[in-house]
């Protein structure tokens, strides 16, 4: 049987509706996994469900409440979702503690970092001082890469991609500030924004700040991320 991959969804507070962009499911399926959309239920029950899965994808979405990393809200903070924050941070903490393979995408990389006691820039433009400033909220089509990312030599992500310089899309205004243990920075954009984190003490714990699921049909190298993740999930099956 193909590995079962849990995929977190967004939760619309106003409509009381759970939803996820189909590209996440399609990318996992194209990489050889079976996608399972995870509901918003009691976090302990969700972890019990996740124990039957082979890996978890933490998807993109809105801002994380800065309460989780010990800060008051910045004036440029966007909309936060307390239900999603509580469930995803709890689930990610459980996954890391139990060495369940995880892949974090956009908001997902931030969830990974916050779950392990790292911090975020609540708004890049307002808080990051850099000689180079890149627009990280593109208006170009979602599949189109707009900026470069430099990958660290010897990192898992550079091994997956087969190179140290890649181009990515970008849809975020928050970013990792202080990197949590056990993660290390494995890629940055030219303005210093952390674009990749990975753990070298877990089976597979990789976060990327871009959206490879939106790119893989036009840029085949992005499917390599999902294939590496699914393969790791398959090897880690009980």
Instruction: Count CB neighbours of 184 within 10 A.
Output: 14
Distances (CA, A) of 146 to 28, 137, 216, 219: 24, 10, 15, 13
Confidence of residue 132 (pLDDT cuts 50, 70, 90): low
Which fold does the domain 4-235 belong to in CATH? Answer: Rossmann fold (3.40.50)
> Which pTM does this prediction carry?
0.97
- Strand partners for 8: 38
Instruction: Count CB neighbours of 22 within 10 A.
Output: 10
Query: Can you tell me whether residue 215 is helix, strand or coil?
Result: helix
Answer for the pair 122, 73: CB distance below 8 angstroms, yes or no.
yes
What is the Cβ-side half-sphere exposure of residue 10, based on CA atoms within 13 angstroms?
Answer: 17
Answer for the pair 59, 10: CB distance below 8 angstroms, yes or no.
yes
Chain-centre distance of CA 93, in angstroms?
14
Residues 72-119: pLDDT tens digits? 999 999 999 999 999 999 999 999 999 999 999 999 999 999 999 999
Domain borders along the chain are 4-235
Confidence of residue 121 (pLDDT cuts 50, 70, 90): very high
Q: What are phi and psi of 200, to 5 degrees?
A: -105, 10
Answer for the pair 169, 145: CB distance below 8 angstroms, yes or no.
yes
Residues 196-234: pLDDT tens digits? 999 999 999 999 999 999 999 999 999 999 999 999 999
Task: Please give the helix or strand (H or E) that residue 189 lies within, else none.
Answer: strand 183-189
């Amino acid at each position: 049987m193909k590995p079962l991959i849990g995929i977190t969804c967004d939760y619309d507070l106003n409509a009381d509706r759970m939803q996820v962009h189909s590209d996440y499911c399609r990318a996992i399926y194209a990489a050889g996994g079976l996608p399972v959309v995870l509901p918003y239920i009691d976090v302990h029950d969700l972890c019990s469900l996740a124990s039957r899965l082979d890996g978890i994808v933490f998807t993109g979405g809105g801002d994380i409440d800065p309460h989780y990393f010990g800060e008051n809200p910045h004036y440029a903070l966007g909309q936060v979702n307390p239900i999603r924050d509580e469930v995803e941070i709890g689930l990610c903490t459980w996954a890391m503690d139990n060495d369940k393979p995880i892949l974090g995408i956009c908001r997902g990389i931030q969830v990974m970092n916050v779950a392990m006691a790292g911090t975020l820039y609540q708004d890049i433009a307002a808080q990051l001082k850099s000689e180079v400033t890149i627009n990280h909220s593109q208006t170009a089509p979602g599949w189109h890469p707009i900026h470069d990312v430099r990958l660290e030599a010897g990192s898992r992500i550079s091994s997956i991609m087969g190179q140290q310089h890649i181009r990515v899309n970008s849809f975020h205004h928050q970013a990792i500030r202080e990197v949590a243990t056990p993660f290390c920075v494995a890629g940055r954009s030219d303005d210093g924004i952390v674009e990749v984190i990975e753990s070298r003490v877990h089976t597979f714990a990789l976060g990327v700040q871009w959206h490879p699921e939106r790119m893989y049909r036009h840029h085949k190298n992005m499917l390599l991320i999902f294939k590496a993740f699914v393969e790791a999930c398959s090897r880690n099956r009980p």
